[in-house]
Amino acid sequence: MTKAQNSARYNIRVLDRAVSVLKTLSDGKPRTLTELSRELEINSSTTFRLLAALRSHNLVQSEDSTGQYRLGLACLELSKAYHIGDEIRQAALPEMESLRNETKETVHLGVLDDMEIVYLEKLEGLYAIGLMSSRVGRRAPAYSTGLGKALMAYTPPGFIQDKLAQLNLNKFTDTTITDEDELVEHLKRVRSRGYALDQGEHEQEVRCVAAPIFDQYGETVAAISVSGPRDRIDPIEQNTALIERTLLAANNISKNLGFRNENT
């Protein structure tokens, strides 16, 4: 089976058609239902249903006076999210490479999405290691990862508590914090010291130190971490050289994004 044939197996016709609508409208030219139907060679009733579904998600919007459709605000939000993520990644990569080369351990860059961490970048350590399941684009529960805790600590406590009340804090390892009150107190300590530690809370044998990254407005937009096996990094809480180097990298990335800390 060719690559094209294999890809076609997973195509969903209605989704393909919806994407075609968005691509057609991406040239900035508003169109009526009839114009879209004719241009896409799809009957008008199907086109209407596609537009209704896209409109319900604010991916398209229509003008009542003209009956014309254009891209909706949700498309702008998606575009903004993409550009922000790419801007952070570009600002972070040189520091991530230096951090990886100096520590020889795996370096991650992640952002918080709801109560999950999303990995924007991962630079493999210079030692052979197959312990970590992290991958670019993959998600992990924020409460059980260094990256996630570093970001949660700088999110308004009331928001975090509301979110935690909706979650099941699953226990991944013996050190996973699954008590809501204990986690809230733990996050206060993370914010106080400026970095988070992962004591094998998501993956038993992995240790990690993570620090938040700030943008020009002083908002936390991402976090960076250094991860490695327990045998090489423990005791992580006493590994001051690794903690200080991670904090320096996070600070430099923040400066690259325009952050100016008045205390430094």
Give pLDDT tens digits for 244-257.
999 999 999 999 99
Please tell me the predicted confidence (pLDDT) of residue 197: 97
Q: How confident is the model at residue 240 (pLDDT cuts 50, 70, 90)?
A: very high
Q: How far apart are CA 183 and CA 201, in angstroms?
A: 12
Q: How confident is the model at residue 2 (pLDDT cuts 50, 70, 90)?
A: very low
Architecture of domain 3-71: Orthogonal Bundle (1.10)
Please tell me the predicted confidence (pLDDT) of residue 86: 78
Q: What percent of the chain has pLDDT over 70?
A: 91
Residue 9: is its pLDDT beyond 80? Answer: no
- Do 80-256 and 3-71 have the same topology in CATH? no
Backbone conformation region of residue 227, classed left if phi is above 0, alpha if psi is from -120 to 50, else beta: beta
Residue 3: is its pLDDT beyond 50? Answer: no
**Tokens 């400066």 -> residue:** 255
Please tell me the predicted confidence (pLDDT) of residue 253: 96
Please tell me the predicted confidence (pLDDT) of residue 114: 84
Please tell me the predicted confidence (pLDDT) of residue 43: 93
Please tell me the predicted confidence (pLDDT) of residue 122: 92
Q: How confident is the model at residue 78 (pLDDT cuts 50, 70, 90)?
A: confident
At how many degrees (to 10) do helices 157-165 and 180-193 cross?
150
160 within 8 A of 230, measured Cβ to Cβ: no
Specify the CATH number of the domain 80-256.
Answer: 3.30.450.40
Residue 111: is its pLDDT beyond 60? Answer: yes
Most confident of 81-95, 110-124, 134-148, 180-194: 180-194
Q: Which residue from 214, 239, 206 is spatially nearest to 92, judged by alpha carbons? A: 214
Please tell me the predicted confidence (pLDDT) of residue 186: 95
Q: pLDDT tens for residues 166-209?
A: 888 999 999 999 999 999 999 999 999 999 999 999 999 999 99
Helix (H, G, I), strand (E, B) or coil at 198: strand
Q: How far apart are CA 233 and CA 114, in angstroms?
A: 30
Question: 35-49, 74-88, 154-168, 184-198: which has the minimum mean pLDDT?
Answer: 74-88
The mean pLDDT of the chain is: 88
Q: What percent of the chain has pLDDT over 90?
A: 64
Tokens at residue 134, please?
């992290």
Q: pLDDT tens for residues 157-168?
A: 888 888 888 888
Residue 262: is its pLDDT beyond 60? Answer: yes
Q: What is the mean pLDDT of residues 49-66?
A: 91
Tokens at residue 5, please?
């044939």
Please tell me the predicted confidence (pLDDT) of residue 263: 58
Please tell me the predicted confidence (pLDDT) of residue 84: 63
Q: What 8-state DSSP symbol labels residue 239?
A: -
Please tell me the predicted confidence (pLDDT) of residue 81: 66
Could you state, in order of their start, the residue ranges of all structural domains in the chain?
A: 3-71, 80-256
**What residues contact 250, with CB distance under 8 A and at least 6 apart?**
211, 212, 213, 223, 224
143 within 8 A of 152, measured Cβ to Cβ: yes
